[in-house]
Amino acid sequence: MHARNRLIVGLDIPTVGEAEKMVATLGDTVPFYKIGYQLAFAGGIEFARDLAKDGKNVFLDMKLLDIDNTVAKGVENIATMGVTMLTVHAYPKAMRAAVKAAEGSGLCLLAVTVLTSMDDADLLEVGYQADARTLVMRRAEQALAAGMGGIVCSAEESAAVRKIVGSDMAIVTPGIRPAGGDAGDQKRVMTPGDALRAGSSHLVVGRPIVKAADPRAAARAILAEMTSAL
């Protein structure tokens, strides 16, 4: 897979109008975009449909978690949108419901393990007894058993997760920062080249591109590093 198909630009942008301008600015450099909560609640769901119709790959980062029926009905509707990837929190019942609902659609379901903005202290605060790495490994095993299409985890855990899930499942890693870049609110970060070498299949990069003075140049620099790593 070429590097440009592994780079997912996070459109963590306030409005659809600004997102449209960013996609136009990046042009043919980037074919894959992530839409999360910020843009989704500002008209981003319809924008996701439009991007898919225009031939772009779309990662809809909704992190679904609810009772089985609600998750299933949500996935059924999302599967008609033409998006490429959808996130579900890695709770076994939710994952099994999502997998069943997505059967035959081609939608790649991604299991969110532990957010890259969280560390061991954060997990302890919310009541988990396991550290981040242990919890990620457990959830990777459960995602594999449920039939999910991939995993979302920190690049720090990619190598270990790859050993669990094998070569076929996607490993999508946020918290990617170019060397010397500001980590922001991310706590478990890695450079693009190191992440690919660790076993990640797709890299989500938001602010280092969309907040750059020249987003296209920033994207091309990251793609160049990814290509060298591949």
| Residue 182 marked in a binding site | no
Q: How far apart are CA 191 and CA 204, in angstroms?
A: 11
| Residue 63 marked in a binding site | yes
| Residue 70 marked in a binding site | yes
Question: Which residues neighbour 22 within 8 Å (Cβ) at sequence distance 6 or greater?
Answer: 9, 11, 13, 210, 215
Contact 107, 75 (CB under 8 A): yes
> Among all residues, which ones are annotated catalytic?
61, 63, 66
**Residue whose C-alpha is closest to residue 7's, from 135, 214, 196, 228:** 196
| Residue 66 marked in a binding site | yes
Q: How far apart are CA 128 and CA 121, in angstroms?
A: 10
Residue bearing tokens 């790959």: 57
| Residue 34 marked in a binding site | yes
| Residue 222 marked in a binding site | no
| Residue 53 marked in a binding site | no
Question: Which residues neighbour 2 within 8 Å (Cβ) at sequence distance 6 or greater?
Answer: none
| Residue 68 marked in a binding site | yes
| Residue 123 marked in a binding site | no
| Number of residues assigned to the chain | 230
Binding site residues, as ranges? Answer: 12, 34, 61-70, 116, 177, 186, 206-207
Binding site residues for substrate, as ranges? Answer: 12, 34, 61-70, 116, 177, 186, 206-207
